[in-house]
Amino acid sequence: MTATTTESVGTRPSPEANYRVLQRIILPAENQRDTVALYVDGGAATGPLKDTMNGKRSVQAPTVVRASEAVHAEDMVDRRSMTVRAGVRLSFGTYFNAFPASYWRRWTALESVRLSVTLEGVGAVIVHKSNARGALQRVESVRVSGAETVTFDLPLKPFGDGGWYWFDLVASSQPLKLIEASWQGLDHGRPLGEVTLEITTMNKPDFCVANITSLGQSPEALEHVKEVLIVDQGSQKVSDQAGFEEAAALLKGRLRIINQSNLGGSGGFSRGMYEAVQNGSDYVLLCDDDIVIEPESIERLLTFSSYCVRPTLVGAHMFDLYNRTALHTMGEVVNPWRFQPDKPVAEQVTGYDLAVTNLRSTSWMHRRIDADYNGWWMELIPTSVIKEIGLSLPVFIKWDDAEYGLRAKAAGYPTVSLPGAAVWHISWGDKDDLVGWQAYFHERNRVIAALLHSPYERGGRLIRESNYMDVKHLISMQYYTEAGRIMALNDILAGPDQLHAIQPERIKEIRALAADFTDAVFKPRVDEFPAPGSSKPPRRGQSFQQPSVAKLVPWALKTLVRQIGLPVSASKKDRPQAVVAHQDNKWWRMSQYDSAVVSNAEGTASSWYQRDPGVVRKNLVEATRLHARLLMEWPRLRTAYREALPRITSIPAWEATFAAHTDSELTR
């Protein structure tokens, strides 16, 4: 049976046309049923939500939509098939099963899409669409009785700025069974190509074994995978993990492990790029180690990329590993003035929970997001692009993925963060990598990326904000963090040609510094520190407050005078004034203490922050001097880094680094 909407007349393909599956309708694996709201939804679609108190759109309205109230685990037959109970309406207008029409409209040459639904029973199929503003529209409905396959040919023309297609199933007085369904497109007549799936790992062997097991149990996901490559840079080897041999056997000879020195994420991912070029793959699929993969994502990324009108980097989205229906972001962009990651649209909410408010009710998710880059938790990169623009910068971690996306964009190769393709990964909310040893890499690599790609003469606002961060860390007694940032500035000024040489060394040097700073020496229990001593009560009984913009300058001057000029009493050196929770570790609060025990972001340990006026004076002068020099030398450094970029990211440059740091290889 074929259902043709009025609006599709004129774009309907001929009956004999060949179709290829673009996106299958899928259901959660048996061990992932807590993510059911991402696959099928029994809740209502409310349209754009409003805050009744002030008339503004709400970012999340937990009392409005019950995302999976009519979905029962026992109704799911397998990953393709389920039963809709009598009298129930279920929607597939969900993250993994709605069709992101605007992305296909923008980046491919497809003019229409076909929905094919195979059913058994009595009921109806109702097709819907949305526009970029999130307005929902009913397209067509068809009643079914018995065993039938219904198809809908749907145009992509109206989706210039955003919008999705999806369908609902409605059972009559009898159950309705979904046998299978898919979104299809006219076959472009080209093979999808072969992909090297590469995982960079550092002491996460359990995650790696779980992921290769999942892949091995999903033969459709491996159909176009030439090789699964694990670049193991840790001391806890994947090949020694329990269950490794059984997992490896599932891949049927397609697993290879390269054991190499710890070259960071950029070194591991560059190895994946290099090996994919060397083995003749059409693509490399870069994956983080501490993720859970939705196997269907591999086929979706590859299929989308094959339809793109030009070589395109196609990335997956990230859901929170510990709150599995919370979406990190719909796309990543870099603010060129501040040179910081930024929201692509103001309405976007980080960590948005689709089990609380569904896709159909979230208007900002219907607008297409055009990304500058995709995180390397999972991204598909054509090897033709790698051959032209090179491998990753040799920067260990941080900003490697963002810089690569900006570099590809400048060369004419866009990045698409594709809805419906995703992994689960530990969210950034469970980390604080701006403090501690990673601060070195954040500072150094952000500035290097700006030297390479900032459109502003001296980096826009970057240098000013960077100097502000030094002040914040120093008045917060985060002296280890500041030591790393000062080291980063010196390395930036030393130029680009040292980056390969220091790639495996800086991490060792930075970690070794931690023993010299009490704020970097962690203990698992607060009781291991001296008990907090009595301190002066808050003024007028009020707790510390962030200074207003109007009062910020006098507050800062007063605070700096105190930080630099006032000595610390012996009692505060011997005992902390307070125990501070991580979420209260703010610069405007910590600057008022002389001594405090502070917990880390993970909640696993605490360290003792102790004010030292001499350290503040010395590092404030040094950081200011280095930033002044960076500002003055920006034009020279920009030229040096831009001239060096093709050389230091080239295959020969990385080949030499790999040769010096490869330990062994293992195939299974």
Measured CA to CA, the distance from residue 601 to residue 317 in angstroms comes to: 23
pLDDT interval class at 601 (50, 70, 90): confident
Is 161 one of the annotated active-site residues of the chain?
A: no
Measured CA to CA, the distance from residue 448 to residue 452 in angstroms comes to: 6
Q: Which range has the top average pLDDT, 28-32, 555-559, 608-612?
A: 608-612
- For residues 236-241, give the mean pLDDT: 97
Of 401, 470, 519, 612, the catalytic one is 401
Q: Which of 308-317, 346-355, 401-410, 654-663 has the lowest mean pLDDT?
A: 346-355
- Which letter does DSSP use for residue 362 in this model? -
Is the pLDDT reported for residue 50 higher than 90?
no
Exposure letters 380-413 (e unless 16+ CB within 10 A, then b): bbbbebbeebbbbbbbbbbbbbbbbbbbbbeeeb
CB 417 within 8 A of CB 383: no
pLDDT interval class at 553 (50, 70, 90): confident
Predicted local distance difference test score (pLDDT) of residue 17: 72
Q: What is the mean pLDDT of the chain?
A: 91
CA 639 to chain centre: 31
For helices 552-565 and 462-475, angle between their N-to-C axes, nearest 10 degrees = 50
pLDDT in tens, 407-444: 999 999 999 999 999 999 988 766 778 899 999 999 99
Predicted local distance difference test score (pLDDT) of residue 311: 98
Look up tokens 């009898």; give the residue. 174
pLDDT interval class at 6 (50, 70, 90): very low
- The H-or-E segment that residue 661 falls in is helix 651-661
CB 188 within 8 A of CB 390: no
Q: Which two tokens stand for residue 311?
A: 């070589």
Predicted local distance difference test score (pLDDT) of residue 51: 30
Is the pLDDT reported for residue 634 higher than 50?
yes
- For residues 371-399, give the mean pLDDT: 98
pLDDT in tens, 638-660: 999 999 999 999 999 999 999 99
pLDDT in tens, 472-523: 999 999 999 999 999 999 999 999 999 999 999 999 999 999 999 999 999 9
pLDDT interval class at 562 (50, 70, 90): confident
Q: Which two tokens stand for residue 49?
A: 């939500």
- Residue 162 neighbours by CB under 8 Å, 6+ apart: 102, 130, 131, 132, 133, 366, 367, 368
Exposure letters 184-207 (e unless 16+ CB within 10 A, then b): bbbeeeeebebbbbbbbbbbbbeb
Look up tokens 């831009």; give the residue. 642
Q: Which of 23-32, 352-361, 554-563, 651-660 has the lowest mean pLDDT?
A: 554-563
What distances in angstroms separate CA 535 from CA 502, 561, 584, 596, 608, one per listed residue?
45, 20, 18, 11, 16
- pTM here? 0.93
Q: What percent of the chain has pLDDT over 90?
A: 82
